[in-house]
């Protein structure tokens, strides 16, 4: 089955840039989506198709993908960005696949 | 406003059956797929199954196939996730999410989640 690998945790200071990675074989051939989940809430799509941002998502959120790694970039991090972040792809053999999630702490 | 409204929390005993629901509104229900996603306490997201609301064609993760069944009732714009016999290991938060047949757009609309607790 297809596997997406994320770092379990990341800590950044307010105002800094957070970069959350997501690794997977042949990732460059797949569309990567990113979700933000705050405690007690449903996931929220923040980036789709590697780098596109749904309406309503702040411009501080962006995405990139190269080779076997996709990256969610949060610029000028705010305290409200503290959450769990998940990457996701569709794989023809495994169907929808989520990464293990990264807990972003804004210290 | 496009919404998915899920049924309320459930407390069940091992071996009991259960069906939870997800009602779509604000869009043409049959134009999209509905996926179900499990989140074990303190853990990450796991895709369970998806169903085409237009024709009820469904696909399951091998991890869940045979243990759960997904269905839709297009007349009332509802999708369902059901268990014939619950285990304590089914205790989790379950989300429904909407997506198109094109996988390029991700899951843009989610229900609020249904907490299922299975305990003797």
pLDDT tens digit string along B60-119? 999 999 999 999 999 999 999 999 999 999 999 999 999 998 889 999 999 999 999 999
Do the beta carbons of residue A47 and residue A33 sit within 8 Å?
Answer: yes
Contacts of A86 in chain B (CB under 8 A): 44-45
Q: Is B105 on the interface with A (CB under 8 A)?
A: yes
Where does the pLDDT of residue A94 fall: very low under 50, low under 70, confident under 90, or very high at 90 and above? confident
Q: Is B45 on the interface with A (CB under 8 A)?
A: yes
Q: What local confidence, expressed as pLDDT, does residue A50 receive?
A: 97
If one counts every other C-beta atom within 10 angstroms of the C-beta of residue A1, the result is: 10
Residue B18 has pLDDT above 90, yes or no: yes
Please give the average per-residue pLDDT across A85-105, as a whole number. 96
Cα–Cα distance for residue pair A81/A39, rounded to 1 Å:
12
- CB spacing of B59 vs A49 below 8 angstroms: no
Q: Is B33 on the interface with A (CB under 8 A)?
A: no
Q: What local confidence, expressed as pLDDT, does residue B103 receive?
A: 87
Rounded percentage of chain A residues whose pLDDT exceeds 70: 100
Q: Is B24 on the interface with A (CB under 8 A)?
A: no
Interface of A with B (CB under 8 A): 1, 31, 33, 35, 37, 42-45, 48-49, 54, 84, 86, 88, 90, 94-101
Q: pLDDT by residue (tens digit) across B35-52? A: 999 999 999 999 999 999
Closest of A97, A41, A101 to residue B50, by C-alpha: A97
Q: pLDDT by residue (tens digit) across B94-105? A: 999 999 988 899
Q: From edge to edge, which strands make up the β-sheet containing B3-6?
A: B3-6, B18-25, B78-83, B68-73
Q: What local confidence, expressed as pLDDT, does residue A89 receive?
A: 97
Q: What local confidence, expressed as pLDDT, does residue B101 receive?
A: 86
Do the beta carbons of residue A33 and residue A48 sit within 8 Å?
Answer: yes
Distance between start and end Cα atoms, chain B: 40
Nearest to A33 among B106, B110, B112 (CB): B106
Q: What local confidence, expressed as pLDDT, does residue A33 receive?
A: 98
The mean predicted confidence, pLDDT, of chain A is 97
Rounded percentage of chain B residues whose pLDDT exceeds 90: 98
Question: Are β-strands B92-99 and A102-106 bridged in parallel, bridged antiparallel, or unpaired?
Answer: unpaired
């Amino acid at each position: 089955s297809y596997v997406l690998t994320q770092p379990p945790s990341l800590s950044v200071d307010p105002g800094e840039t957070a970069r959350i990675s997501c690794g997977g074989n042949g990732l460059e051939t797949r569309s990567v989506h990113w979700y933000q989940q705050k405690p007690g809430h449903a996931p929220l799509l923040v980036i789709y198709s590697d780098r596109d941002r749904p309406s309503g998502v702040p411009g501080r959120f962006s995405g990139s993908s190269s080779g076997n790694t996709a990256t969610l970039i949060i610029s000028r991090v705010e305290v409200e960005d503290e959450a769990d972040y998940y990457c996701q792809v569709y794989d023809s053999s495994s169907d929808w696949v989520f990464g293990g999630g990264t807990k972003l702490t804004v210290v | 406003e496009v919404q998915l409204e899920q049924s309320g929390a459930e407390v069940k005993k091992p071996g009991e059956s259960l069906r939870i629901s997800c009602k779509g509104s604000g869009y043409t229900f049959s134009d999209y797929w509905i996926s179900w996603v499990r989140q074990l306490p303190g853990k990450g997201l796991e895709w369970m199954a998806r169903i085409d609301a237009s024709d009820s064609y469904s696909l399951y993760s091998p991890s869940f196939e045979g243990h759960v069944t997904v269905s839709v009732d297009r007349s009332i714009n509802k999708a369902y996730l059901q268990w014939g016999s619950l285990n304590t290991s089914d205790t989790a938060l379950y989300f429904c999410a909407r997506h198109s047949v094109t996988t390029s757009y991700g899951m843009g609309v989610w229900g609020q989640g249904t907490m299922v607790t299975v305990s003797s």
